[in-house]
Amino acid sequence: MSSQKKKAFQIEAFKHRVVVDPKYAEKTWKILEHAIHEIYNHNASGLSFEELYRNAYNMVLHKFGEKLYSGLVTTMTSHLKEISNSIEAAQGGLFLDELNRKWAEHNKALQMIRDILMYMDRTFIPNTHKTPVHELGLNLWRDVVIHSHAIQSRLQAILLENVRRERSGEVIDRGLMRSITKMLMDLGPSVYQDNFEKHFLEVSADFYRLESQEFIESCDCGEYLKKAERRLNEEIERVSHYLDTRSEVKITNVVETEMIESHMHRLVQMENSGLINMIVDEKYEDLGRMYCLFRRVSSGLVLIRDVMTSYIRDTGKQLLTDPERLKDPVDFVQQLLDLKDKYDKIITSAFRNDKTFQNALNSSFEYFINLNSRSPEFISLFVDDKLRKGLRGVTEEDVELVLDKVMMLFRYLQEKDVFEKYYKQHLAKRLLSGKSVSDDAERSLIVKLKTECGYQFTSKLEGMFTDMKTSQDTMQGFHASHGSDIGDGPMLSVQVLTTGSWPTQLITTCNLPAEILGICEKFRNYYLGTHTGRRLSWQTNMGTADLKATFGKGQKHELNVSTYQMCVLMLFNDADRLSYKEIEQVTEIPTSDLKRCLQSLACVKGKNVLRKEPMSKDIADTDTFLFNDKYTSKFFKVKIGTVAAQRESEPENQETRQRVEEDRKPQIEAAIVRIMKARRVLDHNNIVAEVTKQLQSRFLPNPVVIKKRIESLIEREFLERDKGDRKLYRYLA
């Protein structure tokens, strides 16, 4: 539509302008040319926009567009040549100023020229596919001014020199720099890149290569990182002040490569100040800085993580293999926790809670905790210690905190069933001796174990708690019905334990004193009267007793002793002097237990209610014991503990191991059967893999053991070997 309209105009116009002066075009162009000169000479106020616009309009309309355009190019080029000369003539520091001022002027002039030639821009240029006026002006500026040889190299040198001066701490005119780089950007990204950025990056790389070399020779790691960080921030700041934003990535890359990546290994391993030293000295700030900087380069974090991991593993290994430390399990576990706390703190405060670092930490702990096969026992002992006394008078939150930490160590354990075994033993001791500090804490830990390992894992532990509860009720019932018969006799308190829930102990009954036997019988009758079809057997090795004893000077003490000790002491009601052999004969206490119990009665200072002949630390079969008349104590109640090694002795440990191994067998078999039932046919390696996977939450089964179990199952005709392929097993329903 519009083009047709224009045609109509042109026809009309021609008719109208037929009489026009043949020199019209030349004359009109002269007017416009003059105007362009005036504009460049700041004299525009004398010009009439309307007149100029009308002239340009008419020229285009009368098909002199080409003349107008080429005239513009020539005129502008000549003006720019002048400008270029005047810029070249500028002295030293004024060069940039001049360039910038001329550029601003050119921009204004260009805008005015474009405005008066707008009609040409609008119609003639799109039709003939020429460069629009504004762009033309920029291109001419680029070609005539910037690319003029004298200016180009000088501009580059000055810009780079300014950057260098700023890097070395001088103050430069950032506004001017900003204008100049913006000019280069306006002329097109490639102009900016070719004339400035490319060289800038090269020079920067050289600069930082030298500087980093110098720093690394003279500074320690922390100091170096501080300097690198400052340089990096400076560059970022520089970009934001006077460079194109797209340069940021490029220049930071340069700094990263030169200052960090190429010195990465040296920094991490730097003597006396490297990563390890930072960890040891807990320099969170430096570690954080290292993390932030190294994160910027591709393999930086991997490097930190690897070094940290191997260091944790080493220290952990040392901790676990140091026989000195292993002497005190509680202290040992506490050290593990402290170690974990330390690294947790490093990771949260310096490594921004990086997940990969947490994983590395966890796997390192898992690695070294399982290096020592006694770790499960020690962790259980630690819990035992905490629940016996460590948590007394501590707030509930703190209790939870300690328990959570223990659970965290527990998670690292591979042999969770070993832990369970020990835990059960320790829990049984705590419950039966009533030594547990807090029932809530006990239960809370059970709940945690349950969420961690499932119902199966804790059902027996929970059974123990239930037994304790029902025993209380039973005792109440017993006292209610028999209370009157007992009278002055000894008080009895029985805990009825379900076999299976409690750690199995070899039943080693001893002969109870007659006074006790009577009431025991009464209880047995009472209990079996209410619960038919049950069997009761006495676990004398786990009980305790309170005895009232009168000593030589008539002072009375209440002695809190174990059942065994009670049996021994009761003998001295009738005799003053008994030989070891006699005691053993009457009580029938197993040898090791008896020795231990005599030792605690006779050899511990302050608690030696018996005297031994001859005096020595150890109990021999030939020893004789006397009632210690001269015993004194400032306490009324005296607790006589058993001299019992808290941690298991080597043979006991072996025994527990064996029991654990025994317990594992049915579990492995069950897992095999479960898998085979689902798969019907499977080859050996796959079975091993799946069994391992299924049992992982409890322990790490040994492939050899799995193989033995498979063989046993084949013997019992649960499985058979495939006739064709001997590696395949079939499930026999």
Q: Point out which span in 44-52, 344-352, 466-474, 563-571 binds another protein (CB under 8 A).
A: 44-52
Strand 719-721 vs strand 728-731: parallel, antiparallel, or unpaired?
Answer: antiparallel
Cβ closer to another protein: 186 or 663?
A: 186
Provide the token pair at 99. 């360039």
Q: Nearest approach, Cβ of 191 to another protein (angstroms)?
A: 21
Using CB under 8 A as the binding rule, whether residue 24 contacts another protein is answered as: no
- Chain mean position to CA 596: 47
Q: Out of 27, 37, 122, 443, name the contact with another protein by CB under 8 A.
A: 122
| 201 touches another protein (CB under 8 A) | no
- Cβ closest to another protein, residue 113 vs residue 569: 113
* Residue of 39, 125, 243, 308 interacting with another protein (CB under 8 A): 39
Residue from 44, 486, 496, 689 touching another protein (CB under 8 A): that is: 44
The H-assigned helical ranges of 219-263 are 221-242, 247-255
186 binds another protein (CB under 8 A): no
Tell me if residue 118 falls in helix, strand or coil.
helix
The answer to whether residue 520 forms part of the interface with another protein (CB under 8 A) is no
| Shortest distance in whole angstroms from residue 115 CB to another protein | 4
C-beta of 181 vs 458, nearer to another protein: 181
In the complex, the smallest distance separating the C-beta of residue 150 from another protein, rounded to whole angstroms, is 24
255: tokens are 């700094």
User: What's the rounded Cα separation, in Å, for the pair 508 and 443?
Assistant: 30
Contact status: 42 vs another protein (CB under 8 A): yes
Closest CB to another protein among 55 and 562?
Answer: 55
- Tell me: does residue 182 bind another protein (CB under 8 A): no
Strand order, beta sheet including 624-627: 577-579, 624-627, 610-613
* Nearer to another protein (CB atom), residue 112 or residue 406: 112
CB of 175 to another protein, least distance (A): 11
**What's the number of CA atoms in the CB half-sphere (13 Å) around residue 137?**
22
**Which CB, 108 or 199, lies closer to another protein?**
108
Counting every residue, how long is the chain?
Answer: 733
Nearer to another protein, 134 or 450 (CB): 134
Interhelix angle 375-385/396-412, rounded to 10 degrees, is 170
Rounded least distance, CB 44 to another protein, Å? 5
- Give the contacts of 553 (CB within 8 A, at least 6 positions apart): 632
Q: Smallest distance from the beta carbon of 45 to another protein, in angstroms?
A: 4
* Chain mean position to CA 281: 19
The size of the interface with another protein (CB under 8 A), counted in residues, is: 31
Count of CB atoms within 10 A of residue 218's CB? 9
Stretch that binds another protein, among 41-49, 87-95, 522-530, 571-579 (CB under 8 A): 41-49
Nearer to another protein, 116 or 602 (CB): 116
Minimal distance, residue 117 CB to another protein, in Å: 10
Based on CB atoms, which residue is closest to another protein, 45 or 504?
45
CB of 241 to another protein, least distance (A): 19
Q: How do the residues of the chain divide into helix, strand and coil, expressed in percent and rounded to 5? A: 70, 5, 25
From 85, 79, 132, select the one nearest 105 (Cα to Cα).
79
C-alpha distance from residue 2 to each of 5, 6, 120, 148, 356 (Å):
5, 6, 16, 43, 66
What torsion, rounded to 10 degrees, do the Cα atoms 462, 466, 469, 475 define?
-140
Closest distance to another protein from the beta carbon of 114 (Å) = 9
**Residue 133, class by beta-carbon neighbours within 10 Å (0-12 exposed, 13-18 middle, 19+ buried)?**
buried
- CA distance linking residue 624 with residue 43, whole number of Å: 130
Q: Residue 43, interface with another protein (CB under 8 A)?
A: yes
CA distance 116 to 132: 13
Q: Is 312 exposed, middle or buried (0-12, 13-18, 19+ CB in 10 A)?
A: buried
Contact indicator for 714, 728 with CB cutoff of 8 Å: no
Structure tokens at 43: 């004299």
By the rule CB under 8 A, 119 interacts with another protein: yes
Q: Closest approach of Cβ 104 to another protein, in Å?
A: 5
Interface residue with another protein among 9, 14, 237, 298 (CB under 8 A) is 9
Neighbouring-strand partners of residue 613: 624
- Nearest-approach distance from CB 285 to another protein, in angstroms: 44
Is residue 57 part of the contact set for another protein (CB under 8 A)? Answer: yes
**Smallest distance, another protein to C-beta of residue 174, A:** 16
User: Buried (b) or exposed (e) across 684-721, using 16+ Cβ within 10 A?
Assistant: beebbebbbebbeebbebeeeebeebbeebeeeebbee
53 in contact with another protein (CB under 8 A)? yes
69 vs 119, beta carbon nearer another protein: 119
Amino acid at 10: Q
Contact call for residue 657 and another protein (CB under 8 A): no
Peptide bond preceding 614: is omega within 30 degrees of 0, i.e. cis?
A: yes
Quick count: other Cβ atoms within 10 Å of Cβ 159? Answer: 21
Asked if 616 touches another protein (CB under 8 A), the answer is: no
Least CB distance from residue 99 to another protein, whole Å? 12
Q: Restricting to residues 59-118, name those near another protein by CB under 8 A.
A: 100-101, 104-105, 108-109, 111-112, 115-116, 118
Q: Which of 11, 12, 165, 546 binds another protein (CB under 8 A)?
A: 12
Q: Is 32 an interacting residue with respect to another protein (CB under 8 A)?
A: no
Find the binder of another protein among 4, 45, 592, 649 (CB under 8 A): 45
The piece of 52-60, 377-385, 409-417, 617-625 that touches another protein (CB under 8 A) is 52-60
The label of the residue with tokens 């224009």 reads: 6
Residues engaged in binding another protein (CB under 8 A): 5-6, 9, 12, 39, 42-50, 52-54, 57, 100-101, 104-105, 108-109, 111-112, 115-116, 118-119, 122
